A and B are shown apart, each in its own frame.
Chain A
Amino acid sequence: MNIPVDLKYTEDHEWLRRDGDEAIVGITDFAQGELGDVVFIEIETKGEKLSKGDIFGTVEAVKTVSDLFMPVSGEVIEVNEALNDKPELVNKDPYGEGWMIKIKVSDPKEADNLLSADDYKKMVNA
């Protein structure tokens, strides 16, 4: 299972890649594997300021639907529009083309409290 060491993780299986005061968010390889075929992503929070743990969208797989949670507080400044036509990118490339949102991070310190790759690996018993 792919768990890149340079990312931060949540217990809800999101990942976060920091870039200055911005960050990219998606779901992990483990999460996409558990969901199975992703068929539809609904994110309607662009422009909204959300708190850590708030729902920023939902991901629909064939068998199930799952909420997506903010790893840290911030404003949703961009949504990956490519997922509208190709939701399967989340399965094929969860850490790359399957990214979900870009956020402007409110408090950079919050990200320090997220799980490291090692912590996350232990959590999912990979």
Chain B
Amino acid sequence: MKVTALNGIHKRSGAKMVEFAGFEMPVEYSGIIDEHMTVRRSAGIFDVSHMGEFWIRGSGALDLINQISSNDPSVLKSGMAQYTCMPNGRGGIVDDLLVYCFDAEKYLLVVNASNTEKDREWILSHNSFNAVFDDVSSEISQIAVQGPDAVKVLQKLTDINLSGVRSYHFITGAIAGIDDVVISATGYTGAGGFELYIKNRDAVSVWEAIANAGMQYGIKPAGLGARDTLRLEMGYCLYGNDIDDTTSPLEAGLGWITKFNNDRKFVDRHFLEMQKSEGVKRKLRGFIIEGKGIPRKGYNIINSDGEITGRVTSGTISPVLKKGIGMGYIAADHSSTGTKIFIEIRKKAIPAEIVKMPFV
């Protein structure tokens, strides 16, 4: 099992460790609900070094990314980040990812840990543009500092004006005495904050500096458990649950990152254009459980006649709402907001309602 540079810190702080995507990762420290609420109210610090990072450089870099990306990378200016996914040529999704533009010939792609090898093969197989590809996943640590107080915590550690870094923008500079840290105003919690990309050898000192700087704000380490409940409250997709090689970006509600403009050519463009004009047969929707019960991946979604109309892809209890929330694919003609549905939980039909996301 692989470990991150922060593995020792997690174990010393008593984290419960689990295997995730081949890495030994902290799933929780003080408890998922406590960590979740700490991120919503003040700030939390996450080790997400398992994520994969690829550099794509050279005069063909933009052409390569344009070919594989559902979103349009040509709109990116230096210092901007973009959420996108890679269509798989069969109507599904290879992975979802962030694309960072350093300059017109230098991009950083940040991909899911579980997909790093698949993504590398996929991207290399489409590199007819002579772009220079460099997998630096094992060299880079990623620390996410998330929550309303994240900016105040990090501001104590850098001269860069962090409030000036707008959402989905980044800056490279010194923080906690470490040079060349990529400081990105992005995250997977909806709570605001930053994601930092650091060399492995600097990860421990940056983590400790943030923990110390955040003490006055009650910062706490947060694990993959809280990361999952936080993203689900926002309705963010998780690859492997809500999107995968069999789900199309349009079914998943990712039409907003599927751009057909400028006659741009990209994998699955024709299929997705056709799907867009014909309409999808199922849609990824959010729902809230009325009363008790927690939806889980794989549970059936049924209508008032008892017919199966969909399946849950992610579910949890929302620590903020204190209710069961979930997402799932539902037959398009049964998927309108406000529709009363039922989730089959241990052979009982538990009432729920389709709602707009985010949940909080």
Q: B109 an interface residue at 8 Å Cβ cutoff?
A: no
Q: Is A63 an interface residue (CB 8 A)?
A: yes
- A97: CB under 8 A from chain B? no
Q: Which of A37, A40, A42 contacts B31 (CB 8 A)?
A: A37
Tell me the bound Cα distance from A42 to B324 in angstroms.
14
Q: Given A42-B292, A65-B296, are A36 and B225 also a contact pair (CB < 8 Å)?
A: yes
B268 on the A face (CB < 8 A): no
Question: Which single residue of chain B is at the shortest CB-CB distance from A60?
Answer: B294
Q: Are B346 and A63 in contact (CB under 8 A)?
A: no
- A-side contacts of B16, CB under 8 Å: 33, 36
Residues of A within 8 A of B292 (CB): 40, 42
CB <8 Å contact, A37 and B294: no
Chain A, residue nearest B319 (CB) = A62
Nearest-Cβ distance from residue A83 to partner chain B, whole angstroms: 12
Residue B229 interfacial (CB < 8 Å): yes
Asked if residues A36 and B317 are in contact (CB atoms below 8 Å), the reply is no
Q: Does A51 contact B (CB under 8 A)?
A: no
**Contact between chains at B32 and A36 (CB < 8 Å):** yes
- Given the known A-B contacts A62-B316, A62-B317, A63-B225, are A39 and B31 also in contact in the complex, defined by CB atoms under 8 Å? no
Chain A's nearest CB lies how many Å from the CB of B300? 15
Q: Does A80 contact B (CB under 8 A)?
A: no
The interface residues of chain A lying within 8 Å CB-to-CB of B316 are: 62-63
Task: Tell whether, in the assembled complex, residue B346 and residue A62 are in contact, meaning their CB atoms are under 8 Å apart.
Answer: no
CB-contacts of B23-63 with A (<8 A): 27-28, 31-34
Taking CB atoms, residues of chain B closer than 8 Å to A37 are 31-34
Closest to A34 in B: B16
Interface string of A44-81 (1 = CB under 8 A from B): 00000000000000101011010000000000000000
Interface residues on B, range: 10 to 19
Are the CB atoms of A58 and B32 closer together than 8 Å?
Answer: no
Q: Which of B242-291 contact A (CB under 8 A)?
A: none
Indicate if the CB atoms of B229 and A62 lie closer than 8 Å.
yes
Interface string of B288-313 (1 = CB under 8 A from A): 00001110100000000000000000
- B294 near A40: Cβ-Cβ < 8 Å: yes
* B27 proximity list for chain A (CB < 8 A): 36, 63
| Contact among A33, A39, A62 for B225, CB-based, below 8 A | A62
By beta carbon, the residue of chain B nearest A64 is: B296
Separation in Å of the A40 CB from the closest CB of chain B?
6
- With A39-B317, A60-B317 in contact, do A65 and B32 touch (Cβ < 8 Å)? no
Bound-state Cα–Cα, A65 to B294, Å: 9
Apart from A60-B317, A63-B228: 13 A-B pairs, beta carbons within 8 A: A33-B16, A36-B16, A36-B27, A36-B32, A37-B31, A37-B33, A37-B34, A39-B294, A40-B294, A60-B294, A62-B33, A62-B225, A62-B319
Chain B positions within 8 Å of A, measured between CB atoms, are: 16, 27-28, 31-34, 225, 228-229, 292-294, 296, 316-317, 319, 346
Which residues of A does B touch, CB under 8 Å? 33, 36-37, 39-40, 42, 58, 60, 62-63, 65, 91
Which 4 pairs of residues, A with B, have the shortest CB-CB distance?
Answer: A62-B32, A37-B33, A39-B317, A60-B294
24 intermolecular pairs with C-beta atoms under 8 Å apart: A33-B16, A36-B16, A36-B28, A36-B31, A36-B32, A37-B31, A37-B32, A39-B294, A39-B317, A40-B292, A40-B293, A40-B294, A40-B317, A42-B292, A60-B317, A62-B33, A62-B229, A62-B316, A62-B317, A62-B319, A63-B32, A63-B225, A65-B294, A91-B31
